[in-house]
Copies of this chain bind each other. A is one copy, B any other.
Amino acid sequence: MKTINVGLIGGGFMGKAHSLAYSAVPMFFWPTDLIPVKKTIAEASEDLAADAAARFGFENSTSDWRSIVDDPDIDVVDIATPNHLHAEIAIAALQAGKNVICEKPLARTVEEAGAMYAAARATDKVHMVAFNYRRTPAVALAKRYVDEGAIGEILNFRATYLQDWSADPSAPLSWRFQKKIAGSGAVGDIATHIIDIARYLAGEISSVTALTSTFIKERPVQGAGADSLGNTKGGSSEMAPVDVDDEVMTLVKFASGAVGSLEATRNAWGRNNFITFEIHGTEGSIFFNYENRDELQVCFKADGDDRRGFRTVYTGPNHPNGANLWPIPALGIGYGETKIIEAHDFFTAIAGGEPVRPDFGDGYQAALIDHAILMSAETGAWTDVPLLDRETGLLRAAV
């Protein structure tokens, strides 16, 4: 077995999740083609970086992400920074011949995302955007059912992403509430996840109508102790405006003729990471809620009138990736497992010289949808979404 050297940029929440995945990939997927080596981690200062290296098990540390990009020993660049750094780092890394995995959303704007996709197309390296939720085994099982035709033709796809971690107006103004760093609010941060799931399960979105809200219009400035990668470290008495949305609602039309809706909010008291989707097809329905992420609910028309009902399929060894996770169902899937599968699929693609999905093209397409949503929220009109042509790299008018 060969090893592959990883440079990780960002030692916050995502740095932790990705580090766990790098340690765990061979434990879970064995034998494996490539064993990741945690080579170098970058953080905002030398001290923070050294601390992160000790904590996450990296051999080296640096305060300059460019030294990772420039390091010929590094095979993979992992971008786990706030959004405003994604484009610059990713383009540099791709141009330096690295395989790149980038946290979501791919970028702050559709322009940045387009440039990143162009850079990715110009290489033969593997690029991936970390929409990890589609790798939840139950979500992958939904995909299997859809692909098998088990619920027939999709008529309606509805998804929500509801949170409350910032429903309290006293929650500080972290970078996620600042347009210059984040690009947008709930749209790019969380709606983008369900947009990815919508595309994964129901195909391309061709048109949207949307409204966005910013219910909490100012928040306390973060204390000086806040690190530059965005973790909130307490508030202050000084207030500053929120210049991004904290809620978005849309109706959508799919290229297939299906319709749907998407809703994301940070103001839903009691909802934590409430990623749900419900699909109505001609032959059945599917429901999923990430808060009970081990379970997929599916109803088959074919079950017959006196035995039909939503089945709660509890994912385990018999379901996607299950044989590599835990030996019986309901030992339980956590956030870590979604990241372990994601990392595994990324390394498998590198080993096989094959692309992986979702890639920067998917990240770009999601950005195009985000953009249409934000435009529709301003105009009130149905707004078409250009469709990326993967053959040419050009955008086509919506179908």
Q: A residues within 8 Å of B by Cβ?
A: 1, 13, 16, 19-20, 23-24, 26-28, 30-31, 35, 54-57, 141, 144, 151, 155-156, 158, 162-163, 165, 167-168, 209-211, 213, 215, 231, 247, 249-251, 253, 259-261, 263, 265, 267-274, 278, 280-285, 290-295, 298-301, 303, 305-314, 316, 318-319, 326-337, 380-382
Contact = CB atoms under 8 A, between A and B. Distances in A.
A211 B259 contact: yes
Contact of A309 (B35, B305, B314): B314
A141 B20 CA distance: 25
A310 B308 contact: no
Nearest to A273: B330
B20 A23 contact: yes
B263 A261 contact: yes
A284 B299 contact: no
A247 B27 contact: no
Given A55-B27, A141-B306, A269-B299, A211 B336 contact: no
B156 A265 contact: yes
Given A24-B23, A308-B313, A273 B332 contact: yes
A285 to B, nearest CB: 4
Nearest to A319: B306
Contacts of A231: 327
Interface of A is mostly: mixed
21 contacts: A1-B54, A16-B27, A27-B56, A30-B55, A155-B213, A158-B263, A211-B253, A268-B278, A269-B301, A270-B308, A270-B309, A271-B285, A273-B329, A303-B311, A305-B318, A306-B313, A308-B311, A333-B334, A336-B336, A380-B381, A380-B382
Contacts of A168: 301
Contacts of A326: 13, 334-335
A147 to B, nearest CB: 13
Contacts of A1: 54
A81 B290 CA distance: 34
Contact of A280 (B24, B265, B305, B308): B265
Given A27-B55, A272-B330, 8 more contacts: A23-B57, A27-B56, A144-B306, A165-B328, A167-B301, A249-B260, A269-B299, A270-B285
Contact of A312 (B16, B23, B282, B309): B309
B57 A329 contact: no
A1 to B, nearest CB: 7
Given A313-B308, A332-B334, A334-B333, A269 B247 contact: no
Nearest to A289: B330
B291 A318 contact: no
B27 A19 contact: yes
Contacts of A274: 330
B270 A247 contact: no
Contacts of A331: 273, 334-335
A399 B250 CA distance: 22
The 6 closest A-B pairs by CB, nearest first: A334-B334, A270-B299, A273-B330, A272-B330, A331-B335, A272-B329
Contacts of A259: 211, 213, 247, 249
Nearest to A339: B331
